[in-house]
Amino acid sequence: MAGTQDLSNKEQDSTPQGPKNFIQDIIKDDLQQGKRQGVVTRFPPEPNGFLHIGHLKSIVLNFGLAEKFEGRCHLRFDDTNPVAEDQKYIDAIQQDIKWLGFDWGKHLHFASDYFDDLYNFAVQLIRQGQAFVDDCDGDEIRKMRGALTEPGQNSPYRDRSPEENLDLFERMKNGEFEEGSKVLRAKIDMSSPNMNLRDPLLYRIRKVAHHRTGDKWCIYPLYDFTHGLSDMLEEVTHSICTLEFEDHRPLYEWILQELKTPNEPQQIEFARLGLDYTVMSKRVFLQLVEENLVSGWDDPRMPTIRGMRRRGYTPESMRKFAESVGVTKKNSVISLGTLEHFVREDLDQTCARAMAVLDPIKVTLENFADDKIQMVKGPVHPKDESRGEREIPLTKTLYIDRDDFMEDPPKKYFRLKPDGKVRLRYGYVIHCHEVIKDSDGKVVELKCTYDDRTLGGVTPEGEKKVKGIIHWVSADKGIPATVRVYDRLFNDPNPMGKDKDFRDSLNPESLVMRENAFLEPSLASAKPGDRFQFERLGFFIVDQESTDDAVVINRTITLKDTWAKK
């Protein structure tokens, strides 16, 4: 028999070991030793794209730590590059975070809130002789930076006086110079083994209107300058970043120390989330969308939060997954099956059951009266009796899934076959005695009879118990639907590996359209966002495009991990 109604222990993925969280330990020690009087964290996305699964760990970590230590977590948009930013991303990011179950309260901030402060901090560094205006272009600056094995070279403009730099910086602000003609750089150490300390850029000219400040500014601060000062201004205590910012921490600390700020947040780095069979590159996401390899940023195959939400993943399962992987300093790749385990576990507990036929074959019960409608009963949820029962109409003409019939089956095949018997779920045992095909030899109808002694799982005395149980839908009362059967977007665990083109790893069966599906009538009132387990088939969600006249259903996930042995 293909699958079962509910998840057995064998079908469920093994639960990960208890999570590790060294950052939680650091914060606990800080509070116990009086180093910090409270906890303030922040999640600082750039509003230049949609959130994806790679952001999940940081969201759950930052908001979760604030909740655990009765502090607060800020949502701060790093909106310092107006060329790539858009209000639609700001709106989408807020919606996604709230959908995940987190709220920043009154602490919604933007880096642009601090543009005046940041400009004044830059002026202070110039006055202290620790920043200068450089006329070199980008290529020249890159060449002068040197390499890991050789020191960089000072810019010929490095020794400008503070007065000249102040004048040039103000004129940059006033729009007197063209983009790329001048930048403001910190004056630190061109021989530092840390490349980030080799006179890093602080400001560049961008003559582009900003979504919040309009045309007020034509110079914008870079992230490394903005990040720590924004944290400081918001009185963030623990600035939690992924490991690629570890080499940036000395610059983060240098800026705060040289400016003698009234408080200094502590930057702590952790390993980012990596998943097999998944990409986490905005560049690749954009290519997938622009090349029509997916239907959009919210395509249910996309690892964006919006896509996973549309796929039917639950916020509870995603939070549990993020918590389960722990917080460490070592980068690793987590099995996508681990995430899917939490999704299955949550959906199995919450989803009402129903029957659906995705690829129908007509079944005619010849000894069933033409006008007869018999209501059989099935549980709404077999593990929760309080949810009651649903009534399912049984009629003369039914549909079963094509996968549940085979003309020349192997041994131990327990579904329907010529001159074979099978039990209809919640109904009768039926016997197939005739197979009808079309002119191309495709099976289009099965003529069967039912045994009226077998309702409710009864096996007549003296007869052998029928092992096979299949799902079905009344042809007369079923609801026509389009079912999108989604699977993993990539069939390679490392689609971005060396010398690989991610396109070559696209799974050709990541979307299979079933446009002639039928659903049991209990789903007549289902609305977009409702989730169900289609018995024996998997977990599904009513798509946002679904209407009363055109029902569209998305498969979220199968009942068990079909990739485990691949």
Catalytic residues: 46, 272, 282
Backbone angles phi, psi at 361, to 5 degrees: -120, 135
Name the residue with tokens 């990960």.
Answer: 16
The secondary structure of 54-94, three-state, reads HHHHHHHHHHHHHHHCCCEEEEEECCCCCCCCCHHHHHHHH
Whole-angstrom Cα distance, residue 270 to residue 397?
59
In the chain, the amino acid numbered 311 is: R
Whole-angstrom Cα distance, residue 24 to residue 148?
34
Backbone angles phi, psi at 39, to 5 degrees: -125, 125
Residue 221 CB-half CA count within 13 A: 24
Give the pair of three-digit tokens for residue 147: 């390499």
Q: How many CB atoms lie within 10 A of CB 275?
A: 21
Enumerate residues 6+ apart whose C-beta is below 8 A from 187.
Answer: 129, 130, 131, 132, 158, 199
Name the residue with tokens 């389960």.
Answer: 324
In the chain, the amino acid numbered 79 is: D
Whole-angstrom Cα distance, residue 179 to residue 162?
22
Percentage helix, strand, coil for the chain under 3-state DSSP, each rounded to 5: 30, 25, 45
Whole-angstrom Cα distance, residue 7 to residue 192?
58
Give the pair of three-digit tokens for residue 289: 């969308």
Give the pair of three-digit tokens for residue 423: 């039990």
Whole-angstrom Cα distance, residue 308 to residue 288?
16
Whole-angstrom Cα distance, residue 49 to residue 286?
9
